[in-house]
Structure 1
Amino acid sequence: MGRVVLFDMSSQDPERAASFYSSVFGWKIAEPNWGYHPVSTGDESRPGINGGISKGPHDFAHGIRIQIEVDDMDEALRKSVEAGAQIVRDKMDFGDFYLCYLVDSVGNGIGLIQNK
C-alpha cells in the first residue's frame, strides 16, 4: 500500500512561504538543501506528516503535492500510466532515494518516492 509520507509545497518565493508557515503555524524550517527547505510540522508523538518548501518549476509553479512511498517505482509508474496518469518528471536518483512526479488521471500533481 502506498503511504503518504510527506508534502512538497511549491512557491516562486520559497523564503517568504517558509517565513509565513513558520510564523503562523510554528513549523520548523531547516536550511535549504538543493533549494529544498525541509519542514517539520510537529513532534513525532502526534499524527501528521512533514515536508518541504521549494521554488516551483515551470510545470508546477505554485501548489502542494503529496509524496507517496512505493516499494517499486518502475512498477508504480507503469501502473500509473496504464490508469491514465502522465509522467511530469521521470525517475530521478537522489542518492538515498528515487523520486518522480506525475499528474494523476484527474489532474492532481503527485510524487512517488522509493527509498533505496
Structure 2
Amino acid sequence: MPFRENAPSGAPVWFDLSSSDPERMRDFYAAVFGWTYEVTGEEFDNYVMFRHRGHDVAGMMGKPAPEMPDAWNIYLSSDDVNETVRRAEKAGGSVILQPMDVGTIGSMAFVQDTSGAFLGVWQPKTHRGTQIWGEAGAPYWVEMHATDYPAATSFYRDVFDWQIQVTGDSDDFRYCLQIVDGEQLAGIMDATFLPPGVPANWHFYLGCEDVDATLAAVEKHGGTVNMPPEETPFGRLAGVADPGGAGFMLTSLSDWKSRS
C-alpha cells in the first residue's frame, strides 16, 4: 500500500523521533533516505515534519528530558484517545502521558503496556498520520518484541480490538499478526530471547532498494550498524541507529509480510 489516507483504528499510524540534536538528525535522514523536512514553528515547539515524495512520513521533536535516550516513538490509531487510555488502565497498563490535544491536528497520549513496552496513542483530526508505506524510504513493517508474550497479545486485543492471527506457536517461534480487513498491519514476537534488563519494545522497519548500500550511507553520515545484514525468509534485514543512538530496522523490498 504505497499511499494511505487513513489508518484503521488500532493500527500503526505515526512515528516520531525524540532527539538530542534535531538539526543533525534532519540532515541525517535527508541524506540517507531522501526525506525532506519542515519545521512547524514555536506553536508546536519547532516540531519537525519529515516527508517522503511530498507526503508525511514521520516527525521529530527535541527530547523532553536530557536523561532520556534518543528513541523512535510508535503510535497506534484511536477513534477516542480518552477511551483507549481508560481501557489501557483497565487492562493493567500504565498511563505515561494523559490525553492532550495537539492544536487542531489531533489528540495524543502515551501508555505502557502490560509487557513493559511504551506506546503512543494518536487520535487523528487534520493530521492523519504516515501516508507512505511499503516502499524504499518509508515504513515497511511494525513489530513489537514482547518479553511477556501472553500479556502483550491480551493487552492489544483488549485495548485496541486487535483481530489476531497466530502464525507461529512453538518454543522456537511465537508470532502473531494484527489483521484488519484481511491486511497484515503489525506483529508481536515472543522475545524471551532478549538479554536480561532489555525491556519489551516496539520498533519499525524502513524499506530499502539495497540494504547494504543503505548501511553504508548510515555509517557515512554518522550512524551505526547494530545488527549486520542477514538473509531471512522475509528478505534481507539489518538493524541500525542514527547518530543520536535511536534504533530502527531496515528491510529489502520483498513480500515478506506473509508469515503464515
Mapping of residues 66-81 of structure 1, within 5 Å: 66-81=74-89
1:111 corresponds to 2:123: no
Shift of 1:43: 5.5
Alignment-derived partner of residue 4 in structure 2: none
8 A Cα contact 1:70 1:113, kept in partner: yes
User: Judging changes above 3 Å, is the alpha-carbon distance between structure 1 residues 81 and 42 closer, same or farther for their aligned structure 2 residues?
Assistant: farther
- TM-score using structure 2 length: 0.40
- The unaligned stretches of length 5 or more in structure 1 are none
Is the alpha carbon distance of 1:51 and 1:10 closer, same or farther for their aligned partners in structure 2, counting shifts above 3 Å? Answer: same
Does 1:62 pair with 2:38?
no
Paired residue for 1:86, among 94, 113, 138? 94
Match of 1:102 among 111, 118, 140: 111
Pick from 46, 49, 73 the counterpart of residue 38 of structure 1. Answer: 49
TM-superposed CA distance for 1:30, in Å, is 1.1
Partner-residue secondary structure (3-state), 1:30:
strand
Query: Aligned pairs, how many?
Result: 112
Cα deviation 1:71-103 (Å, max 9, x = unaligned) = 111110011112232211111112222111122
**Structure-1 residue corresponding to 2:6:** none
Q: What TM-score results when the alignment is normalised by the length of structure 1?
A: 0.82
Q: CA RMSD in A?
A: 2.0
Aligned-residue offset at 1:26 = 0.6
Letter in 1 for 2:86: R
Amino acid at match of 2:99: K
Which residue identity lines up with residue 18 of structure 1 in the other structure? R
Gaps of 5+ in 2: 1-8, 126-260
Q: Which has the larger radius of gyration?
A: 2
* Paired-residue identity, %: 30
Q: Match of 2:60? A: 53
Structure 1 ranges of 4+ moved more than 4 A = none
- Matches of 2:91 and 2:52 in 1, distance apart? 33
Larger RCO of the pair (alpha carbons < 8 Å, separation 6+): 1
